[in-house]
């Protein structure tokens, strides 16, 4: 009888210990799911202005996603890509060139492309892409890019996809420059003087003042600048299409959460949210449209591969 009691107590004790062990394992093992989303916004203007506007976006997304949202405004694109790669960033609003690098180097996924009001020819259109143009003044003696060898050129920025990357790819396609020894293409191989003006407006003023012989204009600048520049110049070459900004996400996010994120950003296309998104994405913002990386960034990939240029 005593032996039976001892055996019964042993079984009960073993069960209690096993239950305790299971409870302990459950409390120490992280539960699946994400309790906080980190959203990175690549600055297109003063980061302080973005930080202030991002509070409204944070509140909007928290209501739609049902999780806490933290907005991160980095000082450069590299931090965002590294964050996506190491899962410290879950969602990012980025320009097209950084978005391509995020997909390529961090395994990120492009969910959406920005729809913006851009100029194409003499019309305004809403699209996820646009074009850029090599231009000279109307009274310029130059009729083609080939005639500008040894002359002066102004580019807006070495990290502009429409103002430098695609125009350099066009020079390669025309056989005016080439990559030597696998190095990135260099415009000084063709032009006698190369200036990076800091923006389309600055390069346009340099062209008007006779400081350079040729420059680049894009369809995603302010319509006032575009119409003025294009009205007083001649187009020598056109390049594009060039992709707009994108929304990228860390690839390992659960599918249901990706869908919620996509739906939330698509809702931001509504007119009542456009003023907010114009401050956070671009002044030309109209909405978002579902796109894959191959659809949206394919032309950009081609230009990068042709030129070997780096986003630095």
CATH number for the domain that contains residue 176: 3.40.190.10
8 pLDDT above the threshold of 50 = no
Cβ neighbors of 282 (< 8 A, separation 6 or more) are: 44, 114, 116, 220, 244, 245
CB 148 within 8 A of CB 142: yes
Residues 98 and 78 in one domain: yes
In this prediction, residue 6 carries a pLDDT of 37
Q: Residue 259's domain spans which residues? A: 36-117+244-296
270 pLDDT above the threshold of 90 = yes
Question: What's the pLDDT tens digit per position in 299-308?
Answer: 999 999 999 9
In this prediction, residue 45 carries a pLDDT of 60
- The verdict on residue 58 lying in a domain is yes
In this prediction, residue 22 carries a pLDDT of 29
95 pLDDT above the threshold of 60 = yes
* Residue 176: Cβ within 10 Å count: 18
Residues 57 and 203 in one domain: no
Question: What's the pLDDT tens digit per position in 17-26?
Answer: 333 332 222 2
CB 266 within 8 A of CB 288: yes
In this prediction, residue 223 carries a pLDDT of 96
Q: Which is more confident, 182 or 141? A: 141
Question: What's the pLDDT tens digit per position in 191-225?
Answer: 999 999 999 999 999 999 999 999 999 999 999 99
Q: Which is more confident, 129 or 82? A: 129
Residues 205 and 67 in one domain: no
- The partner residues of 239 in beta bridges, in order of sequence, read 132
Residues 284 and 233 in one domain: no
14 pLDDT above the threshold of 70 = no
In this prediction, residue 54 carries a pLDDT of 87
Question: What's the pLDDT tens digit per position in 27-67?
Answer: 222 234 688 999 999 766 666 667 778 899 999 999 999 99
- The verdict on residue 93 lying in a domain is yes
In this prediction, residue 181 carries a pLDDT of 85
**Which position has the token pair 């063709």?**
190
Q: What is the mean pLDDT of the chain?
A: 88
In this prediction, residue 50 carries a pLDDT of 73
pTM of the predicted protein model: 0.85
Question: What's the pLDDT tens digit per position in 163-193?
Answer: 999 999 999 999 999 998 889 999 999 999 9
- The verdict on residue 18 lying in a domain is no
Domains held by the chain: number: 2
Give the whole-angstrom CA distance, residue 271 versus residue 23. 51
Residues 77 and 160 in one domain: no
């Amino acid at each position: 009888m005593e032996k039976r009691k001892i055996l019964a107590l042993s079984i009960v004790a073993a069960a209690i210990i096993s239950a305790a062990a299971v409870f302990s394992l459950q409390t120490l093992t992280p539960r699946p799911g994400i309790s906080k989303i980190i959203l990175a916004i690549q600055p297109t203007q003063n980061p302080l202005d973005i930080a202030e506007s991002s509070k409204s976006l944070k509140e909007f997304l928290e209501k739609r996603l049902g999780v806490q949202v933290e907005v991160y405004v980095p000082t450069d694109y590299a931090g965002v890509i590294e964050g996506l790669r190491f899962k410290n960033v879950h969602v990012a609003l980025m320009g097209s060139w950084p978005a391509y690098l995020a997909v390529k180097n961090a395994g990120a996924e492009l969910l959406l492309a920005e729809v913006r009001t851009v100029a194409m020819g003499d019309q305004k259109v809403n699209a996820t892409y646009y074009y850029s143009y090599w231009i000279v003044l109307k009274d310029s003696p130059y009729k083609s890019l080939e005639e500008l060898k040894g002359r002066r050129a102004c580019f807006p920025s070495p990290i502009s996809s429409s103002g430098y990357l695609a125009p350099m790819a066009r020079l390669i396609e025309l056989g005016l420059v080439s990559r030597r020894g696998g190095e990135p293409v260099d415009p000084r191989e063709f032009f006698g003087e190369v200036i990076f003006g800091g923006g389309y407006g600055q390069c346009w003023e340099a062209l008007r003042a006779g400081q350079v012989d040729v420059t680049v204009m894009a369809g995603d600048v302010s319509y006032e600048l575009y119409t003025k520049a294009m009205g007083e110049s001649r187009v020598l070459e056109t390049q594009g299409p060039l992709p707009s900004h994108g929304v990228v996400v860390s690839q390992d996010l659960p599918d249901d959460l990706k869908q919620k994120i996509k739906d939330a950003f698509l809702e931001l296309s509504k007119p009542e949210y456009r003023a907010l998104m114009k401050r956070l994405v671009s002044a030309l913002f109209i909405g978002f449209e579902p796109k894959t990386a191959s659809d949206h960034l394919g032309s950009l990939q081609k230009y990068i591969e042709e030129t070997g240029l780096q986003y630095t």
